[in-house]
Amino acid sequence: MLLQNARVALAAQRERADLIWIRSSKGIAFGALGGRLAGRRLIWDVDFEPESKGIVRILHRLGLRLSSKVIYQYQAAAEEIFGKSTVVKTQSKHISIVPGIDSSRILSESGVSRPEEESQDAKQAFQVLLIGTVCDRKNQRLAIEILSVLKNEYGQKNVKLLCAGGVADEVYLRDIKAYIEEARLQSDVEFLGWRDDIVALMRSADLLILPSQNEGVPNCVQEAMLLSLPVMVSSVGGLPQVVTNDVTGWVIDSWCPRVWANKLNTVIQDSRLRNEVTRRANLHALENFSTDTWGKRYAHAVEAVNNGCEGAK
């Protein structure tokens, strides 16, 4: 570790680097001391981090002390990782920059705009799409429970749930398949497995649902908003920063399937509401989610650190 830090210091001096960009707590361990030894300012880009205890806690404290700026994908991540009191003490160092998506490619693949909505009478089913690895964190079980409530309590018989994503937990999949049989939803839920045609799936779906128990900033939500696909998400991680409730989508702050089903039933019944919300979501995505926008915001943060304006937002 010390040798690697020495190499970082030598490389920074040899290449005449103005500053050093570090990723994760592992980057702090293998490069932060070397960067400061070389007299360079540090930018620490934080994504997913393990719980702040033991050696990880030591690295977190070291990273906060040595870094000029700490960058997150979403605003709430700082307190989630380091705790509120620590963030308050180092407030000027923290900045969130929502990651960008390749808007041009996505729009090109999609044909630019979604097709005109068919009436539900003309369609086989209202298709609800869930994208994510099959595991407890992505919470496919809750989506299936929501579907059960929709059918049994709201009379929504013409709704289908499509789950796209590989399987990370075979036991979890087996358990939810048992629930599907118990709830008699075999013909209403389909597991698509890993797919590389996500844009096409979004084009044919009527709504993206993401009831995750833990998230960062999932690209699928940004992509759906760009493609004018309605989104309904849980209130965890960076989702509330990406989706504004009742404005660009629906953020559900509950794990009760009836709360979700009640809102989803309203959305299914009101096509004008869906169209208005997705119009705003599309405009928001075009203005805020492109890689160009992300790059400019990141460049501004880097420039501020390089110029010694460490408190710049």
Q: CATH number, domain at 12?
A: 3.40.50.2000
Does residue 114 share a domain with residue 80?
Answer: no
Does residue 243 share a domain with residue 176?
Answer: yes
Q: Above 50 in pLDDT, residue 313? A: no
Does residue 207 share a domain with residue 176?
Answer: yes
Q: Is residue 23 part of a domain?
A: yes
Which residue in 216, 244, 37, 31 sits closest to 138, CA to CA?
A: 216
Q: Above 80 in pLDDT, residue 4? A: yes
Answer yes or no: pTM beyond 0.85: yes
Q: Above 50 in pLDDT, residue 311? A: no
Which residue in 281, 279, 181 sits closest to 223, CA to CA?
A: 281
Helices (H), ranges, 183-236: 198-204, 219-226
Give the C-alpha separation, 141 to 257, whole Å: 10
Residue 163 phi, psi (nearest 5): -110, 110
Does residue 150 share a domain with residue 224?
Answer: yes
Q: Is residue 313 part of a domain?
A: no
Q: Residue 9: how many CB atoms within 10 A of its CB? A: 20
- Report the domain count for the chain: 2
Residue 286 phi, psi (nearest 5): -60, -35
Full domain range(s) for residue 75? 2-100+292-306
Q: Is residue 311 part of a domain?
A: no
Q: Above 80 in pLDDT, residue 121? A: no
Does residue 213 share a domain with residue 138?
Answer: yes
Does residue 196 share a domain with residue 70?
Answer: no
Residue 280: is it exposed, middle or buried by C-beta count within 10 angstroms (0-12/13-18/19+)? Answer: middle
Does residue 162 share a domain with residue 64?
Answer: no
Give the C-alpha separation, 18 to 39, whole Å: 9
